[in-house]
Structure 1
Amino acid sequence: MTWELNRHQHLVTLAKAYRLTGDEKYVAELFKQWRHWHAENPYPIGINWASSLEAGFRSLSWLWMYFVLGDSPVAPAGFREEWLRALGLSARHIEVYLSTYFSPNTHLLGEAVALFFIGTLCPELTPSQRWQRRGWDIVVQEIEHQVQPDGLHFEQSTYYHIYALDLFLHARMLAVRSDIPIPQQFDANLVKMLDALALLSRAGAPPQLGDDDGGRLFDPRRNRAEHMFDPLATGAVLFQRGDWKALAGDVREETLWLLGSSAVSEFDKLNAVTPSFASTALESGGLYLMSGTSRQLVVDAGPQGAATAGHGHADALSICLTSNGRPLLIDPGTCEYMGHDNTRDEFRGTSAHNTMCVDGLSQAAVHGPFAWANLPSVRAEQWVAGQAFDFFVGSHNGYSRLPEPVTHRRTVFSMKDKFWLVRDEAQGTGQHKLELNWHLSPEISRRDESDLVFSSENQSEGLAFL
């Protein structure tokens, strides 16, 4: 909560409220909070200067706030000078303390985007051209580094995929408006990221694989699973993709602010195209998508994450199932990042996922809140995407660290929309406690205690275990 409030994204909301209504109470509250925050947070004292990424988020909010207010006559005297001074201080801090070594992932990317925005939009500041160049260079570098060949983000997290996608999209918009050439490969990687999101979203909201910190770049309220389609609306207008429009459903407010009012008419004119439901594999990220006409089962057979898998979960060979927009088998998500007990470890551990747990242990060993040790090697051994059926075999060695090692092998056979057969083998020696967990969506429940049939309240969707 400390981070989110001090990102000042609510100040943008106040600026929009004033711009849309003309009511000065919104802008009065905005400037009251602006000055109070600066009085209480002198540089470099306090938690709000502990993270360069947070300084970056805050700077982006200040930029949006200022330009949404525009030429409003209600701004207090000297505000522009205050604003420039605050942004200059933040940019210097970010430049000196870039997350080059500590978190060279979305932290570094977010900081670079902020540096690029400040350098571009505050030309009065002496180092602005240097900030613009350095920020943009890092953004271009990181889309090559962080995006895998199949388009998935290297953190192995659905939410961080969206996070990075938002950052790349926003940076691209400003670069275009500033006549900065966009490398061809940059757009190619952006399209791959949007395609990967579209594939995961064909039957409904994508599964919540890996960590989710609950934040968004533009509108922090749009942080639920159903909001993960948002980048597809902007991408549909940018790249004229009718299949992305069909998945997004409607234009988003963010698209309007980023691309202007003409984006609405462009979105409306674009012909919606039903996306292909062919089964496919995102092999670099290790996601195998078994699809029918309205249902999709996702098998996670990818690495746990980059480096020490700080935002990955111990979910090798877990499966998630979505049908007609409703989740049936789910990944329960993250719950929290920091707490006073082991709740975080429980939610990112193996037992919180739809896979096999051996001897009550996770597939990897917890090594702090954002790291793992003994990461498993996960292999997709066979993959057949057929016309009438799909077939997957995979294994991992996460339990090879046991005194009597065990290899988990999972086979999944799909008759498209009709049924899925899952076979699990624990290959090794000795006696072990084996657990298989199936995490059901809260949208479905057991209707009759005498069987294993779970369905939605109106019984339009359901799942039976045989």
Structure 2
Amino acid sequence: MFDACSRVQVGIQESVYQDSRELLLSRLYLNSKRLKKVKESLDIPGKAMDELLNYYKGRESVSHPVKRITNSIRSENSVDESDFKIANDALEHVFVGQRAYPPHFCGDDINWNTRPVADMEWVWQLNRMYFWNAMGKVYAKTGDEKYVKEWCLQVVDWIEKNPNDAEHNYAWRSIEAGIRGYSWTTLFYRFIQSPHFTPEVLVSFLNSCYDHAEFLMTRYRSGSNWGLMEAEGLAFIAFTFPEFKNAVKWRTEAIRRLNNEINLQVYPDGHQRELAIGYHLGCINWFYRTYELAMLNNRAGAFPESYFEKIELMCEVPMKLCFPDGTNVQFGDAWAGQPGQHSDNFLTWAEWFERDDFLYLATDGESGTAPNQTAFALKESGLYSMRSGWDKNATCLVLKCGPDGGGHCQPDNGTFSLYSGGRTLMPDAGSYIYSGDPEGRNWFRQTKVHQTLTLNDENSGYKPDLLLWQPGNDLDVLVVENKAYENLTHRRAVLFVEKKYFIIIDEAIGTGTGNVDIHFQLAPGKVVHENEKYYVYSEFSSGTNVFVQAQEQVGLQLSEEEGWVSYEYTKKELRPTFRYRLIKEKKDEALRFVTLVAPFEREIPKIKVELVGNSKVGSDKIQFKINENGTEKLIAYELK
């Protein structure tokens, strides 16, 4: 016999409960045949609530991705040790906010606005209650009622303490409301069969879901991932609780927004407009989950065929832009993550779209077929990749020269990251932190800490142009241009020669004067500098290294710079960085840097690059003579 959560246990006063009960009944469509027993019991309010709870415990008319917990279902394959740790801590009110920080005890009487760190991300994420998801998963795995009992207490506590007003705006940003709208419906299905889920809990919970939906109807952050989470939360409440009078209105508006946003936010090349891979992957989920929910409830027709087709195009992006080991390129607010992190995604997508190339990536080549390309251009996003193959040791360079992606983007057009031999040799700096350390965040948002050109160390702008994309068997050519400054344009050409090494041509075109620098950054580790010969190379004791050498010219300077890289939120480490500098003294002067970037294993490569002819900076055609270990050849590109 379980000790169910009574009104007294969850802390609801009788008068408050009566008012809440009447409010909920006024919000339900009681003329529905499904709520007939509830309507017939209105003269006995307590019985009406019992009937409503019984209705939800037995309801079969609504489908949801999470199946209800029954005595015959006691497994949850995705539960791991961390879920148990988070769930058990939450029983003691030790909660996880932003995961980069330690869990924090929020009091016997929970303070939902506690701030153990200066970073507001902690408070905001506390009020997304990700730890409740862990409690739900662990309950599904174990059937232990203590998790439901404590969740009932906590959800009612949060609802009572956090009305939607100015004093509680830390809990009522629209993004948090949207996340809760989605996750709370999942928790509803996890816990509804428990005897601890009483009428008192149901009343409080449903009224808050209604309040969330009505609030989300007034918030629409179009063009941002926020808009997707707002719409998703609204949709999941509407689909899960069609008994609300306003459910059809909510559902219609949520689907309208998602249909609108997939065209506004996703470029024709498939990348989400904020140009940060983590948010891109999140957007795949936010677009798909409501589509799946609609399918489960026979309303997929509310989405056009193009909607699902565009999701498929989005799923191609990590295939095209991630490194061979499955880690991410850290452009903007992105994090490298762990090798193989996308395997489960690719397996899911292989099933959705019947794609053998996704299956190949999901199984490390054991099944499916490798993608039939090794070079990809996402032209609208300004993201390009060149690779030598599809094994984990392949060489891969990813370059960015795109539009302004907003707050999660950085002024880094022209930058690139390089991977080879199972190692990211030249990673992007990352972003370090969102709030709590504004100076730290701003340091990572400087153009000069990216592998691109600066004029007088100033941040650059976003005015990109693709001049040439010409992949081939032995030579891939990419030429992009960015009007980085009002008076100076940066043209960068990248030539991937024989799938082994890169020649990078940087040209500064315009009237701007001062210090023109090309910046390069390597992975943390030892390096060798040879300033007189204009080269730097990494010195890992084993595996693959990288050699960077600029073509000698009058006035060229090589010097070290301050360098940091952040692979995890709130964490950063020193890394070697350097710059090549030319001083542009005259307005009519134009400058060119030619740099060899060559991964190598045992011996430093003997490659000499020499410009052929006297082509002016900004010319449409450039030709080079390359001497590699005594063998000469000519390579060139010509703009059309």
- With the shorter chain as reference, the TM-score category is 0.7 to 0.9
Deviation at 1:117, TM superposition (A): 0.8
Contact 1:454 1:463 in 2 (8 A): yes
From 23, 30, 34, the counterpart of 2:144:
23
Unmatched tracts of structure 2, length 5 or more: 1-121, 550-640
Partner of 1:424: 506
SS at match of 1:185: helix
Deviation at 1:329, TM superposition (A): 1.6
SS at match of 1:164: helix
Label 1:325 to 1:453 Cα distance change in 2 as closer, same or farther (>3 A).
same
Partner of 1:55: 177
Partner of 1:40: 161
Q: Indicate whether 1:342 and 2:464 are aligned.
A: no
Contact 1:159 1:208 in 2 (8 A): no
Label 1:324 to 1:184 Cα distance change in 2 as closer, same or farther (>3 A).
farther
From 291, 304, 310, the counterpart of 1:183:
304
Partner of 1:263: none
Contact 1:202 1:275 in 2 (8 A): no
From 130, 133, 139, the counterpart of 1:9:
130
Q: TM-score, normalised on structure 2?
A: 0.61
Post-superposition CA distance 1:287-339 (Å, at most 9, x none)? 1211212221112121122xxx3322111111111235532222222222223
Post-superposition CA distance 1:210-245 (Å, at most 9, x none)? 224x8xxxxxxx976864565433222211223213
Larger Rg: 2
Deviation at 1:429, TM superposition (A): 4.3
One-letter amino acid matched to 2:209: L
Deviation at 1:72, TM superposition (A): 2.4
Deviation at 1:115, TM superposition (A): 0.9
Distance 2:216 2:144 in 1: 35
- The structure with the largest helix share of the pair is 1
Contact 2:425 2:545 in 1 (8 A): yes
Distance 2:361 2:176 in 1: 32
One-letter amino acid matched to 1:247: L
Deviation at 1:464, TM superposition (A): 1.8
Distance 1:323 1:75 in 2: 54
Distance 2:446 2:339 in 1: 21
Partner of 2:450: 353
One-letter amino acid matched to 2:543: S
Label 1:209 to 1:225 Cα distance change in 2 as closer, same or farther (>3 A).
farther
From 290, 298, 321, the counterpart of 2:398:
298
Partner of 2:538: 454
From 208, 225, 234, the counterpart of 1:115:
234
Distance 2:448 2:342 in 1: 25
Label 1:69 to 1:90 Cα distance change in 2 as closer, same or farther (>3 A).
same
SS at match of 1:97: coil
Distance 2:156 2:338 in 1: 32
One-letter amino acid matched to 2:349: G
Distance 1:288 1:296 in 2: 10
For 1:143-158, list aligned pairs within 5 A.
143-158=262-277
One-letter amino acid matched to 2:330: Q
For 1:185-334, list aligned pairs within 5 A.
185-201=306-322, 203=324, 204-212=326-334, 227=341, 231-249=345-363, 271-293=367-389, 294-305=394-405, 309-334=406-431
Contact 1:456 1:462 in 2 (8 A): yes
Contact 1:357 1:363 in 2 (8 A): yes
From 461, 466, 470, the counterpart of 1:380:
466
Post-superposition CA distance 1:12-67 (Å, at most 9, x none)? 11011111012233333323322332232123241245421211111212111111
Identity %: 28
One-letter amino acid matched to 2:372: S
Distance 1:226 1:436 in 2: 33
Post-superposition CA distance 1:255-299 (Å, at most 9, x none)? xxxxxxxxxxxxxxx943222342121111111211212221112
SS at match of 1:87: helix
Question: Aligned residues, how many?
Answer: 416
SS at match of 2:256: helix
Label 1:249 to 1:5 Cα distance change in 2 as closer, same or farther (>3 A).
farther
Post-superposition CA distance 1:340-392 (Å, at most 9, x none)? 5432222122122111121011103xxxxxxxxxxx31112222101101112
Contact 1:9 1:58 in 2 (8 A): no
Q: TM-score, normalised on structure 1?
A: 0.82
SS at match of 1:72: coil
RMSD after superposition: 2.6
